[in-house]
Amino acid sequence: GTSGWVKLSGLTYVGNTYRLGTYRTSSGSIVNVTNISGTTAYYDGGSTAISNLTKVYKVTVNGDTAFGSTPKYYAKGETFTISAAKSGNAVEFDMWETMEGLCSYASKTSSTTTVTVKDSDLVINPSYRGDYILTVTDGSGGGRFKGGNTAKISAFGKPGYEFAGWVIESGEDTIGDPTAVNTTFTIGTSDATVKPVYRPAGELDTTGVTNYALGKSYTSTWGGNSTISYYSTTQDDSSLKKLTDGVKPSANYSTADGCYASFLSSSKVGTFTINLGTSRNIRMVALCGIANNGGSFGDVVPGSVKVEYSTNGSSFTALTISDTILYSYSGGTALGNVYTHRLDFSPVNATHVRVTFTSATYCTSLAEIEVYGGENNGTLTVQNGTGSGTFSVGKITSIKATSPGADYEFKGWTIVSGKGYITDPSAESTTFTVAAGSTTIKANYVLKDEFALVDTITPPFKVDAGDAVIDGMPENNSVKNVKAAFKSSVTIKKPDGTVAADTDFVGTGYTVSGATKTVTVIVSGDLDSDASVSSSDYIVLKKFLTGKVTLNGAYKKASDCDGNANTDTADYITLAKKLKG
């Protein structure tokens, strides 16, 4: 309780390495050194040269399955493994918390990780959260929710397909109406992932066709016996509304309607190839004006129609037809002896279409084959990547993310606006199915280290996210300057939790928060948070050394003025010298 001067002659200096406390002998025994005389350490049951002992610290881990419930002793720099035990049925592991002492974690948010001991006793606890992450693949409504809460989810849609329902890929939660595009999701007791599923549309939009082959002659082979040429009509395609040519014959069929192919053949197998002139998005083929000699049905043998497509005019791939043969219509009304068969399939891009079918016994003519498509083009804009352009609707085109630099890591694709389908949103190089209209997609990147610095402050300070501190912060730095030192956006708060103004100075106890973590500032010697070292700090340190005040956390570290990891009279002397200049 007193202070004053002491005569140093006759005293023995004991270095920082040798101090009272817990040690490990060369045989592995843990002893408590109660006295050090010269270089000899004394403990209950014996004594030895202090150099034969290793300073160790007591480590206690609660709620763990790897470390165990019994405290253990480790030296500075030694590591050990911890693994969190699940706490109850309705919570998930969040992060490890250091209740006492100092240490660093390989990953503070991993349930199993390794810990490196610093120079203090240590108590570690796992913490858990009672809310969960809902991920909606190819849809909206994801986020973090409390267990039991309800989230609204919606499917984005997929061109050429119709919504078939929701599936839960992971988790044990419930969907309000699994058959509705817009529905609800009740959060359970774990993270969950849901996604919409689609099936080929049974009824496709037939709006829009473009006659890119206007004025060209199409040659088709009928049963291998004869060659038939039929020609495009003079329909206007300046508005790009038709893929193929022709006008359906009138309800009262006659040769005056301009039947472009007539036949009566014993083989009864017809193969017709249509050149679209360029790559187009196709959705439907219609066999128009097939008439018979008086039979009510029998113009095309059911199940005999095959539609194939090609991107080069030589290699053809069969399409899966959504309809069964078939029906005859004109605005929903049967056409008497004139039949039109509409064949739907999932959209593809093609330069040529080949139709093959077998005629019934009385089939005598085929007026025309029409190829229908959806809206011609869609515009794709790729942010933070390559692949932008204008494409045929339904085209599957390549996209690739472009990193802004080595300090960043890819965090997946998102659709900013419009519609479409990203094949693998988690892959930097993937494909995109183009939809009608304008679509913008974005490659998302985040800084690998949210506290990465640009070194605008001299001398530079160091961020230790593992220990959640900023060490070596220079004196008298404004909030504005400290913010500018980080590559990402940060928030700086005063010790009382209020947001600091840009003109404030950052002192000990201030906090800097990134996207997911918060670190505490330490300015060596600043014990009153004013960002500078003055006589008031000298007084605080003096009171601490005489037991009149207590310093914890960042303030305790700031009191270590000579950087030897201890606060003692040497720090008092160092601070005094600094004030004297």
Q: Provide the residue count of the chain.
A: 581
Which residue matches tokens 């004030």? Answer: 579
Upper half-sphere CA count for residue 317 (Cβ side, 13 Å): 10
Question: Would you state the pLDDT for residue 214?
Answer: 29
Residue 524 amino acid letter: S
Distance CA 118, CA 100 (A): 12
Tokens of 518: 């918060």
Write down the pLDDT at residue 48: 92
For residue 391, what pLDDT is reported?
A: 78
What local confidence, expressed as pLDDT, does residue 576 receive? 85
The residue whose two tokens read 């007193």 is 2
**Token representation of residue 468:** 């959640």
Q: What is the pLDDT of residues 493-533, one digit of tens each?
A: 999 999 999 999 999 999 999 888 899 999 999 999 999 99
DSSP 143-171: EEEETT-EEEEEE---TTEEEEEEEEEES
Q: Measured in Å, how far apart are the chain's first and last C-alpha atoms?
A: 30
Which residue's entry shows tokens 């200096």?
A: 13
The pTM assigned to this predicted structure is: 0.35
Cα gap 53→33, rounded to integer Å: 10
Measured from the Cβ of residue 109, the count of other Cβ atoms closer than 10 Å reads: 12
DSSP type of residue 574: H
pLDDT in tens, 447-476: 888 888 887 788 888 888 888 899 889 999
According to the 3-state scheme, what is the secondary structure of 313-360?
CCCCEECCCCCCCCCCCCCCCCECCEEEEEEEEEEEEEEEEEEEEEEC
Q: Which SS3 state, helix, strand or coil, does residue 573 take?
A: helix
Q: Tell me what pLDDT residue 18 has.
A: 64
Is 198:158 a contact under the CB 8 Å cutoff? yes
For residue 86, the model assigns a pLDDT of: 67
* pLDDT of amino acid 419: 81
At residue 402, what are phi and psi to the nearest 5 degrees? -120, 115
pLDDT of residue 437: 76
* Cβ partners under 8 Å of residue 268, min gap 6: 223, 301, 358, 359, 360, 361, 363
306 φ/ψ angles, rounded to the nearest 5 degrees = -130, 130
Stretches in the chain below the pLDDT threshold 50? 88-90, 201-266, 292-298, 324-338, 362-364, 375
Write the burial class of residue 320 (CB in 10 Å: 0-12 exposed, 13-18 middle, 19+ buried): exposed
Which pair of structure tokens corresponds to residue 11? Answer: 């005293």
Tell me what pLDDT residue 367 has: 56
pLDDT at 14: 53
pLDDT at 216: 32
